Amino acid sequence: MRYMFLVYLDATAPDSDQAEIDAYWAYDKALDDVGALIVSNALQGTGTATTVRVGADGTRTVTDGPFAETREILGGYYLVDLPDLDSAVEWAARCPGALNGKIEVRPVLEFEEP
């Protein structure tokens, strides 16, 4: 089953140092070694974000930055293929982002093609 790990980090934390970056590389490799990693990416800071909303009347509003001011930011994601939720939780707990942030684990909604 596919799961999305959403990595939420403290917006006030300093930028990652080389040791933290190396920990993420090792985590990526461990997921890849067991054949679970589909894709992962870190995201640029919220200062580069653009938020798009479309009103009921079809009017589009585009604003700079994230939609809501918050202490936590979405810092990256992993799309993984693991046997079950227990395995997903186990792997999420191993993510370096879990040490100073949190990892949201969500099953991917699977649709059958018509």
- pLDDT digits 0-9 by tens, 60-73: 999 887 656 667 88
In whole angstroms, give the CA distance from residue 77 to residue 112: 24
Provide the residue type at 35 as one letter: G
How do strand 101-107 and strand 50-54 relate by DSSP bridges? unpaired
pTM attached to this predicted model: 0.86
Q: pLDDT tens across 67-95, in order?
A: 566 678 899 999 999 999 999 999 999 99
In whole angstroms, give the CA distance from residue 1 to residue 40: 16
In whole angstroms, give the CA distance from residue 4 to residue 93: 13
Complete domains list, the chain, with CATH: 2-107 (3.30.70.1060)
| Spacing of C-alpha 26 from chain mean position | 17
